């Protein structure tokens, strides 16, 4: 993307509020440790004060004993979140504004982490680049937790009639694994890359709402402990969907799950508004909508779906928490509630969530394909139409998850049609990638390998999804291991492997270090082989009739389960090798040049490490982002060979 530059007004020309005290004020004394301390103190105080009221409240009737206990734990978890956010300084800005002491430029620079060094990663820092790296580390931690739980599941299923874990704990592992991995996959691309890369890619100096950007991450951080603690308190035993009113019988640990979802929904909503607003209002001069990089379009599409549908999931958990903590009956049919209300609220998010995960990864692969093929994107307009079609049709597909429940049988076939229709815009995205690759000469670097892997896994997941969208087929496949294999091919196969390729591609810009592709490739392909073995075997088990979420099974499923367990451990080994490549490259990798891939998009046109405000002067865009093959007299590194020489010199 050819660019020019324009000067900006000096900061001294902008009227400033009066500076009160040192820059940063109260936030200077806040960090993750003060946040944890404040959260724990408020949670403990809430629990012990509330327990003094629990006995007289609980003695009203026998039924109120459990209600009082659940209300107490709900208040305790919420107190943790509020205390943590106060302790890390999240409320300092609004409080200062209400007192008439809005932030000065010096305050804003302190909040952005200027001259704070590594300490800025442990504080309420507003710089979008810091937030992006915080999201990256959080995603890695969540994948580690979810992967460990997956190993426990496969260890149990690797034996036939023996019990490694008790049935209740096994069910709790399954439910916790599911929601941890869902959260990790939602943030895997949109979190690190949407925050770090997208503002630079569109020529902006920061996100539209920097303080909200920090708020979105730290809300996510605060939401995780209640979920992990819930596993020690009995956990959720009904899968990640936690159907009501069955889950009302779950232990108190289910309260932690509900609080996590409620808080995480606020985090995703804030992040979605910020990403959309940034892209719509802060693009560089000359970056018209037909010049916006396709990654930004994908992030907008994903954010729109998350902003619209994630509140449905949040509402379901607010009402479920009310049923448990206060004795209401939103989902209890005995007292006039509706089971269908919960299922519809849940699946209104549950299926668009697949596209919230896959679309950012697909858009990232499109960015990678044009760079490593040195070709323009095959039909930019078809790609945009594909994203728009997925966003639109995703609103009318959720009922295919309820074919077998007996709810509105007459709706089955219309929703079967809508579910099959979404394959068309989704297919557009596959065709755009294939068209970009077609008859090209690929630079076979690790990011490009991720493009091939994403295509393969999306095709497998997409085709098997068409089977499951048909009502007669779903009657046989529903609740089987076939379904588990299908959604893992979509979420992990496309989403996770795509995220791995995207992180490798943008790793030099994010960390100022080159990624060790030799070690990374070993881990990547090891995990890919293990993935195919694990879930192809699950397809076979599902066709044989093995149900999901079952602790023990017939000997007829032995071979497929043994193969899946072996494959799962191979995935784990591959992921550990890949993680080792991330850590060693970040700590001691070769220093990266500004544009190691000789890309034309804006994020590669600024220096590395990226300065605080991204660009010394704001860029002006004068051409399309994918004009590869068009001579540019101002491009000093426009060929793939020159880029290879840059990387090869390290």
Q: What is the pLDDT of residues 303-326, one digit of tens each?
A: 999 999 999 999 999 999 998 888
Helical pair 64-87 and 254-281, crossing angle rounded to 10 deg: 40
- % of residues, the chain, pLDDT over 70: 92
Q: pLDDT tens, 130-188?
A: 999 999 999 999 999 999 999 999 999 988 778 889 999 999 999 999 999 999 999 99
Neighbours of 444 (CB within 10 A): 10
Tell me, what's the pLDDT at 67? 60
pLDDT at res. 98:
87
Q: Of 64-68, 208-212, 295-299, 434-438, give the lowest mean pLDDT range.
A: 64-68
Judge whether residue 228 has pLDDT over 60.
Answer: yes
Per-residue pLDDT averaged across 189-203, rounded?
Answer: 96
**325 preceded by cis ω (within 30°)?**
no
Measure the CA–CA gap between 273 and 353, rounded to whole angstroms: 17
- Categorize the per-residue pLDDT at 63 as very low, low, confident or very high, splitting at 50, 70 and 90: very low
480 has which bridge partners?
Answer: 547
Q: Mean pLDDT over residues 376-391, rounded?
A: 95
Number of H helices, E strands in the chain: 22, 2
User: Which positions ≥6 away from 487 have C-beta within 8 Å?
Assistant: 354, 461
Question: Higher confidence at residue 98 or residue 579?
Answer: 579
Place of tokens 């694990």: 534
Residue 607's Cβ-side half-sphere holds a number of Cα atoms within 13 Å equal to: 7
pLDDT of 264 > 80? The answer is yes
Is the per-residue pLDDT at 509 higher than 60? yes
Q: In whole angstroms, how large is the CA radius of gyration of the chain?
A: 25
What confidence score (pLDDT) does residue 357 get?
95
Burial (0-12, 13-18, 19+ Cβ within 10 Å), 245: buried
Structural domains of the chain sorted by starting position, each given as residue range(s) with its CATH number in brackets:
27-124 (no CATH), 125-648 (1.20.210.10)
How is residue 489 written in tokens? Answer: 């091919």
- For the segment 594-598, the average pLDDT, to the nearest whole number, is 93
Residues of the chain above pLDDT 90, percent? 72
pLDDT of res. 497: 96
Q: CA-to-CA distance for 639 and 441, rounded, in angstroms? A: 13
Per-residue pLDDT reduced to its tens digit, 551-574: 888 888 999 999 999 999 999 999
Q: How far apart are the first and last CA of the chain?
A: 26
Q: Determine which of 275-289, 484-498, 549-563, 586-600 has the lowest per-residue pLDDT on average.
A: 549-563
The band of 69, judged by pLDDT with boundaries at 50, 70 and 90, is confident
Is 90 exceeded by the pLDDT of residue 453?
Answer: yes
Mean pLDDT score across all residues of the chain: 89
Residues 560 and 16: their CA atoms lie apart, in Å, by 68
How much is the pLDDT for 66?
Answer: 55
What pLDDT does residue 103 have? 81
CA distance 218 to 581: 27
pLDDT in the model for residue 457: 96
Is the N-terminal amide bond of 436 cis, ω within 30° of 0?
Answer: no
Band the pLDDT of 64: cuts 50, 70, 90: very low
Q: What is the mean pLDDT of residues 469-477?
A: 90
Sign of CA dihedral 168, 348, 264, 206: positive
Residue 62 confidence (pLDDT):
44
Question: Rounded CA gap, 81 and 220, in Å?
Answer: 10
pLDDT of residue 34: 97
Using the predicted structure, report yes or no on whether residue 649 has a pLDDT greater than 90: no
Dihedral angle of Cα 580, 583, 587, 588, to the nearest 10 degrees? 30
């Amino acid at each position: 993307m050819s660019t020019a530059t324009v000067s900006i007004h000096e900061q001294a020309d902008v009227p400033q509020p009066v500076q009160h005290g040192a820059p940063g004020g109260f936030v200077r004394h806040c960090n993750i440790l003060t946040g944890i301390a404040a959260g724990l103190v408020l949670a403990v105080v809430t629990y012990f004060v509330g327990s003094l009221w629990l006995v007289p409240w609980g003695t009203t009737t026998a039924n109120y004993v459990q209600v009082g206990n659940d209300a107490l734990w709900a208040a305790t978890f919420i107190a943790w979140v509020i205390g943590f956010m106060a302790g890390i300084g999240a409320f300092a800005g609004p409080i200062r504004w209400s007192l008439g002491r809005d932030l000065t430029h010096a305050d804003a620079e302190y909040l952005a982490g200027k001259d704070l060094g590594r300490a800025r990663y442990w504080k309420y820092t507003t710089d979008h680049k810091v937030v992006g790296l915080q999201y990256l580390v959080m995603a890695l931690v969540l994948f580690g937790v979810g992967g460990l739980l997956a190993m426990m599941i496969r260890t149990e299923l690797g034996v036939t009639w023996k019990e490694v874990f008790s049935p209740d704990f096994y069910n709790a592992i399954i439910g916790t694994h599911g929601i941890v991995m869902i959260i990790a996959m939602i943030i895997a691309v949109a979190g690190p890359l949407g925050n770090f890369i997208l503002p630079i890619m569109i020529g902006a100096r920061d996100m539209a709402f920097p303080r909200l950007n920090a708020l979105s991450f730290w809300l996510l951080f605060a939401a995780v402990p209640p979920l992990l603690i819930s596993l020690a308190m009995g956990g959720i035993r009904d899968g990640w969907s936690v159907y009501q009113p069955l889950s009302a019988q779950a232990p108190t640990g289910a309260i932690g799950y509900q609080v996590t979802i409620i808080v995480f929904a606020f985090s995703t909503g804030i992040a979605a508004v910020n990403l959309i607003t940034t892209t719509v209002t802060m693009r560089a001069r000359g970056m018209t909508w037909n010049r916006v990089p396709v990654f930004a379009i994908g992030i907008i599409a994903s954010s729109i779906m998350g902003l619209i549908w994630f509140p449905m999931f949040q509402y379901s958990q607010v009402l479920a928490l009310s049923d448990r903590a206060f004795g209401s009956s939103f989902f209890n049919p005995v007292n006039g509630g509706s089971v269908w209300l919960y299922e519809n609220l849940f699946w209104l998010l549950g299926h668009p969530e697949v596209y919230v995960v896959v679309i950012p990864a697909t858009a990232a692969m499109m960015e990678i394909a044009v760079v490593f093929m040195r070709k323009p994107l095959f039909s930019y307009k078809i790609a945009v139409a594909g994203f728009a079609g997925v966003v639109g049709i995703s609103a009318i597909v959720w009922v295919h998850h309820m074919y077998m429940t007996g709810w509105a049988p007459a709706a089955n076939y219309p929703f079967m049609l809508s579910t099959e229709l979404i394959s068309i815009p989704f297919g557009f995205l596959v065709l755009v990638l294939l068209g970009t690759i077609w008859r090209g000469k690929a630079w076979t670097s690790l990011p490009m390998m991720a493009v091939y892997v994403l295509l393969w896994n999306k095709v497998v997941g997409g085709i098997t999804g068409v089977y499951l969208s048909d009502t007669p087929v779903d009657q046989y496949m529903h609740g089987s291991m076939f379904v588990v294999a299908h959604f893992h091919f979509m979420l992990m196969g496309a989403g996770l492997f795509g995220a791995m390729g995207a992180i490798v591609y943008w790793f030099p810009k994010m960390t100022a270090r080159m990624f060790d592709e030799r070690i990374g490739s070993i881990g990547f392909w090891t995990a890919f082989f293990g993935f195919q073995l694990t879930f192809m075997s699950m397809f076979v088990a599902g066709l044989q009739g093995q149900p999901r979420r079952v602790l023990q099974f017939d000997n007829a499923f032995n071979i497929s389960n043994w193969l899946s367990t072996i494959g799962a451990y191979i995935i784990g080994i591959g992921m550990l090798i890949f993680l080792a490549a991330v850590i060693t490259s970040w700590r001691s990798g070769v220093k990266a040049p500004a544009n190691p891939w000789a890309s034309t998009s804006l994020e590669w046109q600024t220096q590395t490490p990226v300065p605080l405000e991204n660009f010394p002067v704001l860029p002006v865009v004068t051409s399309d982002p994918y004009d590869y093959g068009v001579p540019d007299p101002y491009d000093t590194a426009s060929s793939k060979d020159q880029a290879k020489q840059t990387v090869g010199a390290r």
